[in-house]
Homo-oligomer: A and B are copies of this chain.
Amino acid sequence: MKALVYHGPGQKAWEEKPNPIIKEPTDAIVKILKTTICGTDLHIMKGDLPEITSGRIIGHEGVGIVEEMGSSVSSFKKGDHVIISCITSCGKCEYCKKGMYSHCTDGGWILGNLIDGTQAEYVRIPHADNSLYPIPAGADEEALVMLSDILPTGFECGVLNGQVKPGDVIAIIGAGPVGMAALLTSQFYTPAEIIVIDMDDNRLAVAKTFGATHTINSSDGKAVEQVKKLTNGRGVDVAIEAVGISATFEMCEEIIGAGGHIANIGVHGKSVTLHMETLWSKNITITTRLVDTVTTPMLLKTVQSKKIEPKKLITHRFKLSQIMEAYDTFGNAAKEKALKVILTNE
């Protein structure tokens, strides 16, 4: 089969690889129908994740068709259309039993990381019963690619952890795909105001069409001031960090109101400064989370009942064989006005 292979920092190729085979009775082999590229894949390509070795097939999102199952897989059969979760869950370790699949002792985020991933014609999915989700008949499969990672990430790490409530004023810092996923899913809880902050006017304009009530371009360094003004000096109820750098995390610290929640989504490479000298008495909560994808069934219900349109996040479409070109587009997201790209295995 063909697959997108990482060959060390800055090096990748769309090349021939052996088809995956069943290794454990809990495995399934899935033929990829559609996949996508994640911001994390760009980090991998830069060499930011040293645990990823040369020769690895990248990718942790996608929908596909079950091709073959290990002897103990009971929830799926050949031919089933499935969503592949970015998180592998054994369903029986201490963490899985708590719904903290991200820390599964025999899983977690391993796809396209510690084992070969989904940017390929076929993929082996360990613990298939707990790591695949059935696609309902008639569903829009392209939209469901968003359920592999981006939508549960924005929802679990940003919205659920932030405890968004009806009537809240919330701020989302970072209008990339995951910030947009938080924007869409935050509306499940009917906040009164949603302020989206970014440095890219195009993304802010898109955020408006996705439900943002206010947008702020933070390039001029006055975003904190503007949020304070919008909230009569009180700060926001929930601040969702969807960038992953100290500057944006500290912005959350500055705009959070007393009793508020800072929900981190961003992947951080460095420490941040936590201003406990002011925050110690502000009754705030800060959360971190690697997505557990424990809400995938709930999210699927909201998609099926048309309460959310994840398809909105898709800006570009390619054939899977055009993946090198797709990386170029996604790698120049601002210029290309790209959010999520869809790669179809035709």
Contacts and interface: CB of A to CB of B under 8 A. Distances in A.
A295 to B, nearest CB: 9
A21 interface: no
Interface in A293-309: 294, 297-302, 304-305, 307
Contact of A271 (B92, B190, B274): B274
B276 A273 contact: no
Contacts of A302: 166-167, 190, 192
Given A276-B249, A288-B282, A301 B192 contact: yes
Interface in A179-224: 187-190, 192-193, 213
Interface string A103-114: 100100000000
Contacts of A279: 288
A296 to B, nearest CB: 10
Interface stretch (A7-15, A93-101, A321-329, A338-346): A93-101
Given A271-B274, A274-B271, A99 B100 contact: no
Contacts of A266: 280
Contact of A284 (B99, B258, B271, B287): B287
Contacts of A96: 91
Given A190-B188, A192-B304, A305-B193, A97 B294 contact: yes
A75 B95 contact: no
Interface in A258-287: 258-259, 264, 266-277, 279-287
A36 interface: no
Interface size range of chain A in the complex:
35 or more
A276 B270 CA distance: 6
A165 interface: yes
A290 B298 contact: no
Contacts of A305: 167, 192-193, 213
Interface string A20-61: 000001100000000000000000000000000000000000
A189 B192 contact: no
A148 interface: no
A275 B98 CA distance: 25
A129 B92 contact: yes
Contacts of A264: 276, 280
Name the residue among A192, A274, A290 with the largest chain B CB count within 10 angstroms.
Answer: A274
A103 B190 CA distance: 26
A71 interface: yes
A274 B277 contact: no
Contact of A280 (B91, B94, B189, B268): B268
Please give me the 9 A-B residue pairs with the lowest Cβ-Cβ distance, nearest first.
Answer: A167-B301, A72-B72, A192-B305, A268-B276, A281-B290, A91-B91, A274-B274, A188-B190, A166-B188
16 contacts: A25-B71, A25-B72, A91-B92, A100-B283, A165-B298, A167-B298, A167-B300, A264-B276, A264-B280, A270-B276, A271-B273, A272-B274, A283-B287, A283-B290, A285-B286, A286-B286
Given A91-B130, A280-B290, 18 more contacts: A74-B92, A75-B92, A95-B258, A97-B130, A98-B259, A167-B301, A189-B189, A192-B304, A192-B307, A268-B280, A272-B273, A272-B276, A273-B273, A274-B274, A283-B289, A283-B292, A284-B287, A284-B288
